[in-house]
Chain A
């Protein structure tokens, strides 16, 4: 029996008033408002971690292990990589969320980025060919050629067909285009047919996974023995792979891309009419219509922007030297996107849709994500009989925080009372 009624001032004061059962009359002031902005994310992270610690403790994972592994997440090199990818994704998502376009399809858009980038990289910027076993040794010294499969029966080499920098650029552009176009499908459905984008973007993620599996296993399947055996593409020519920063798993290109996107989206948002219109599309689309701006175009714009950035994130994963190929998804719980498309939603929300805060929360969430992963491998190794296994462990901290955040927002933005 909950009645939710909207109140006029959205402050943490209301939360305090609520928690005190109405006995505490809190003055609303500027300080309180800032508390709302900063307090909710921090409270969510704090309470969320507490909840996940309790969950782990109840199933038998000692607290110190939990604390150590989550703490290690904050210092891991892999965290840096996740932060960069999450920054790229979340900046795009914030743009669309600002316009009240709830794109939860970053996963699918990343997948399309991988496919398009992979297609350009594998079939346009380079190509894989069979050579005769006897001639194999003569190719080794040719620049731009590398051996993919040195099997004595049917060796395969990859031949670079253009300047590798141009190739990388084309891969990125193709990925952004594909991600953007994929995002435009639900955008059109929302703008012109009135279909809710939350459902359609989510469903399209699974469509994208299936299309990906088909293309990778049949259309783009590689020539090498391993590729044919495991239903995957060939490895990208190493000249096309992004360049790792020394001692880390982050690549130079993805760092540049994410900073570029961050700055350009910030500029677009603050200083151009597109940014202003997206903002107003989120708060009052009818105003846009009334002043003679087609509000539907800004639904498309919001989705296009976030889809393009997700596509770029997708190709950044593919072109990482640690990956370099597309493999068939065996289980939708562990797609090649690492589920970052969903995790980025949390980053956007925690930053309260403020672009400037995205880098901070991208790092925090990446750390927790990585910490969860470390915890998972540690727990699986040490406690083989545990009821919690696999990816479920990784997502417990992230999920708990998301849950607390959503509950806090509802409690603070609305005043909830129980009625008999």
Chain B
């Protein structure tokens, strides 16, 4: 692999000088102090993980390094020289590149056009053809297979993320920060990404891996720094500290052994709640993504759907929520007052039956980041009437914020100032509340830290057990499906290829997922 061009070639001559050093950094937002006196050194040839629960200040820290935020106090030094980073462009020029959880790509442009915007090798005068050719060569080299001519909106999440990674690699970065960028990647792609990261480290590059997942941090990093409530509570070499000690650092007194979400196999009998018969749904490209799926979920039962991303599970959930046309087959919901055929009835009818929906792209379809927390709750027709009682909404918001432990300055804060996990908690809180009969969820605990994720899964299970809610939970995270589902179905190429009871061996599920 001839990657000298893209990886820093000078193998850190002075190992003592950190590539990036942060000293006494403070940053506060109205009502919240996001960073308190943070110190951090990242050395060349090191993979440095920043661990912390949702709202611990991980993203704020990395955005400060990336020039998005200006620190209130404190210094940033790059290669021993004090630096004031004024903008992301400035950060890029200094060799710092951020790959974030939400792909920062322009949807209507092609991959080549997007990359040409940030690559210095190309100016506006370069022909798109030459960029395409260059990219094809490079993709070959890295083993990333994405057609540079494709418009970005057509790409899957994974593919968008790979484009982001490719961009970082092509920018000759000395430090690449991954802000939860690997969290949602399927494990095969994740491993591919880890290979790039290791290679990058070998060539003397520095990597900042921001994550709330302990296993992810332990898997490839050399050093881990733990943040809690904006403070550094520990920094250590991997292997020096046990996982339990790390959990204790991350969550403090909130930490309890995350297990036992009612592990016992519940035997759910009784009435059917969701009946799907021979469902056919088309994907974005016009071909069938769901090919004849038939399913039955009983009252109080949770069906987990496992599968590698892009096998039709997204289209399945969207069609159940009324947001995608069903070409053939039907969906019947059995609710308290009778059976309702909801095939192609549209979201209004479906939601009116007490259906909660946690969508695949929360920021795009689940929440409005320019509106406040209160507005995001009140917008649901089930949670407010024509005249909105804002006091009641405020009380509701406050109770949900404390129940889900959301870090926010107030109930009238715009959702865009919340961290990814806190934003997700608002969405989950609203949807679990309206899910009187049915919950449809796609990756419900994405971007939640371990404790919050377990809490949410327990809430779903409790609600199913105590209130008779039925749920279809799709997740790209197999552990989640196994933890939450009473029944597990595996989807592959639009067909259900396996059914398992709770407590099945993980290996058995994995086998049918990939064949």
Using CB atoms and an 8 Å cutoff, list the residues of chain A in contact with chain B: 1, 3, 5, 7-9, 17, 22, 25-28, 30, 271-274, 276-277, 279-280, 283-284, 286-294, 415, 417, 419-420
A283–B415 CA distance with the chains assembled, in angstroms: 12
- In the bound complex, do residue A280 and residue B84 qualify as a contact, i.e. CB atoms below 8 Å apart? no
- In the bound complex, do residue A290 and residue B323 qualify as a contact, i.e. CB atoms below 8 Å apart? yes
A22–B381 CA distance with the chains assembled, in angstroms: 46
- Pick from B2-10, B238-246, B283-291, B367-375 the stretch touching chain A: B367-375
Residues of B within 8 A of A9 (CB): 68-69
Q: Give me 24 A-to-B residue pairs in the complex whose CB atoms sit less than 8 angstroms apart, sorted by A's number.
A: A22-B90, A27-B70, A30-B30, A271-B387, A276-B375, A276-B378, A276-B384, A277-B379, A279-B371, A280-B371, A280-B375, A284-B368, A284-B369, A284-B371, A286-B365, A287-B368, A287-B376, A290-B321, A290-B323, A290-B347, A291-B351, A292-B322, A293-B379, A419-B123
- In the bound complex, do residue B86 and residue A25 qualify as a contact, i.e. CB atoms below 8 Å apart? yes
Q: Which of B352, B357, B390 is A271 in contact with, Cβ under 8 Å?
A: B390
- In the bound complex, do residue B87 and residue A22 qualify as a contact, i.e. CB atoms below 8 Å apart? yes
Residues of B within 8 A of A26 (CB): 70
Residues of A within 8 A of B84 (CB): 25
Sample of 4 further A-B pairs with CB below 8 A, known A271-B390, A292-B346, A292-B351: A27-B70, A272-B387, A279-B375, A280-B371
Q: Which of A8, A277, A283 is B68 in contact with, Cβ under 8 Å?
A: A8
A290–B117 CA distance with the chains assembled, in angstroms: 33
Residues of B within 8 A of A420 (CB): 123
A292–B69 CA distance with the chains assembled, in angstroms: 37
- In the bound complex, do residue B352 and residue A292 qualify as a contact, i.e. CB atoms below 8 Å apart? yes
Residues of B within 8 A of A287 (CB): 365-368, 376, 379
- In the bound complex, do residue A292 and residue B378 qualify as a contact, i.e. CB atoms below 8 Å apart? no
* B322 to A, closest residue via Cβ: A292
A192–B351 CA distance with the chains assembled, in angstroms: 22
- In the bound complex, do residue A291 and residue B89 qualify as a contact, i.e. CB atoms below 8 Å apart? no
B388 in the interface (beta carbon within 8 A): yes
Q: Is chain A's interface secondary structure helix, strand, loop, or mixed overall?
A: mixed
- In the bound complex, do residue B371 and residue A283 qualify as a contact, i.e. CB atoms below 8 Å apart? yes
B1 in the interface (beta carbon within 8 A): no
A336–B350 CA distance with the chains assembled, in angstroms: 50
In the assembled complex, how far is the CB of residue B348 from the closest CB belonging to chain A, in whole angstroms? 4
A1–B122 CA distance with the chains assembled, in angstroms: 13
Knowing A7-B87, A287-B379, say if A276 contacts B388 (CB, 8 Å): yes
- In the bound complex, do residue B352 and residue A273 qualify as a contact, i.e. CB atoms below 8 Å apart? no
Knowing A271-B390, A292-B381, A419-B123, say if A283 contacts B370 (CB, 8 Å): yes
- In the bound complex, do residue B351 and residue A1 qualify as a contact, i.e. CB atoms below 8 Å apart? no
Knowing A7-B68, A30-B30, A271-B388, say if A289 contacts B323 (CB, 8 Å): yes
Residues of A within 8 A of B375 (CB): 276, 279-280
Residues of A within 8 A of B365 (CB): 284, 286-287, 289-290
In the assembled complex, how far is the CB of residue B332 from the closest CB belonging to chain A, in whole angstroms? 18
B126 in the interface (beta carbon within 8 A): no
Q: Which of B30, B70, B117, B322 is A3 in contact with, Cβ under 8 Å?
A: B117
B359 in the interface (beta carbon within 8 A): yes
A287–B63 CA distance with the chains assembled, in angstroms: 27
In the assembled complex, how far is the CB of residue B230 from the closest CB belonging to chain A, in whole angstroms? 17
A419–B93 CA distance with the chains assembled, in angstroms: 13
A7–B89 CA distance with the chains assembled, in angstroms: 11
A420–B122 CA distance with the chains assembled, in angstroms: 10
A280–B374 CA distance with the chains assembled, in angstroms: 12
B364 in the interface (beta carbon within 8 A): yes
Knowing A272-B386, A280-B379, A284-B370, say if A415 contacts B87 (CB, 8 Å): yes
A8–B98 CA distance with the chains assembled, in angstroms: 14
Knowing A8-B68, A17-B86, say if A289 contacts B347 (CB, 8 Å): yes
List CB contacts (< 8 Å) of B252-289 with chain A.
none
- In the bound complex, do residue A291 and residue B390 qualify as a contact, i.e. CB atoms below 8 Å apart? no
Q: Mark B375-405, 1 if CB is under 8 A from A, else 0.
A: 1101111001111101000000000000000
A415–B368 CA distance with the chains assembled, in angstroms: 23
A27, A290, A294 pick with most chain B CB within 10 angstroms = A290
- In the bound complex, do residue B368 and residue A292 qualify as a contact, i.e. CB atoms below 8 Å apart? no
* A27 to B, closest residue via Cβ: B70
List CB contacts (< 8 Å) of B335-375 with chain A.
346-352, 357, 359, 364-371, 375
- In the bound complex, do residue B370 and residue A417 qualify as a contact, i.e. CB atoms below 8 Å apart? no
Q: Which of A291, A415, A419 is B379 in contact with, Cβ under 8 Å?
A: A291
Q: Which 7 A-B pairs give the minimum distances between C-beta atoms?
A: A292-B351, A284-B368, A283-B370, A292-B348, A292-B347, A22-B86, A286-B365
In the assembled complex, how far is the CB of residue B91 from the closest CB belonging to chain A, in whole angstroms? 12
A22–B86 CA distance with the chains assembled, in angstroms: 6
A286–B123 CA distance with the chains assembled, in angstroms: 36
In the assembled complex, how far is the CB of residue A24 from the closest CB belonging to chain B, in whole angstroms? 9
- In the bound complex, do residue B89 and residue A5 qualify as a contact, i.e. CB atoms below 8 Å apart? yes
In the assembled complex, how far is the CB of residue A210 from the closest CB belonging to chain B, in whole angstroms? 36
Residues of A within 8 A of B124 (CB): 1, 419
Residues of B within 8 A of A276 (CB): 375, 378-379, 384, 388
A287–B88 CA distance with the chains assembled, in angstroms: 30
B72 in the interface (beta carbon within 8 A): yes
- In the bound complex, do residue B388 and residue A286 qualify as a contact, i.e. CB atoms below 8 Å apart? no
A393–B321 CA distance with the chains assembled, in angstroms: 57
A25–B350 CA distance with the chains assembled, in angstroms: 51
Knowing A25-B86, A27-B72, A419-B123, say if A272 contacts B379 (CB, 8 Å): no
In the assembled complex, how far is the CB of residue B86 from the closest CB belonging to chain A, in whole angstroms? 4
Residues of A within 8 A of B371 (CB): 279-280, 283-284
A284–B390 CA distance with the chains assembled, in angstroms: 21
Residues of A within 8 A of B87 (CB): 7, 17, 22, 415
In the assembled complex, how far is the CB of residue B206 from the closest CB belonging to chain A, in whole angstroms? 24
A375–B90 CA distance with the chains assembled, in angstroms: 48
Residues of A within 8 A of B89 (CB): 5, 417
In the assembled complex, how far is the CB of residue B315 from the closest CB belonging to chain A, in whole angstroms? 15
- In the bound complex, do residue B368 and residue A273 qualify as a contact, i.e. CB atoms below 8 Å apart? no
A217–B203 CA distance with the chains assembled, in angstroms: 82
Residues of A within 8 A of B117 (CB): 3
* B430 to A, closest residue via Cβ: A291
A25–B348 CA distance with the chains assembled, in angstroms: 48
Residues of A within 8 A of B72 (CB): 27
A417–B321 CA distance with the chains assembled, in angstroms: 43
